[in-house]
Amino acid sequence: MSNMKRLDELMPGQRGRIASISPCGNLRRRMMEMGLVIGSEIMVIRLRLQETRWRYS
């Protein structure tokens, strides 16, 4: 059983590691610009409830 989650499934305070990134499109480019590459460890700081944007560290 895999315990992998999508980034949008993580809650504030939870940590994760990037296992894969969408192979194409603006999302991949934006994630790379932010330094989110495969193997990067992230922690969710907070969620914006009115939008679909997340803040990671």
Mean residue pLDDT of the chain comes to 82
- Helix, strand and coil content of the chain, in percent to the nearest 5, comes to 20, 25, 60
pLDDT score for 55: 60
Residues 27-50: tens digit of each pLDDT: 888 888 888 899 999 999 887 765
Q: Which residues neighbour 25 within 8 Å (Cβ) at sequence distance 6 or greater?
A: none
The tokens for 49 are 């409830």
Distance CA 13, CA 57 (A): 10
Indicate the pTM of the whole model.
Answer: 0.65
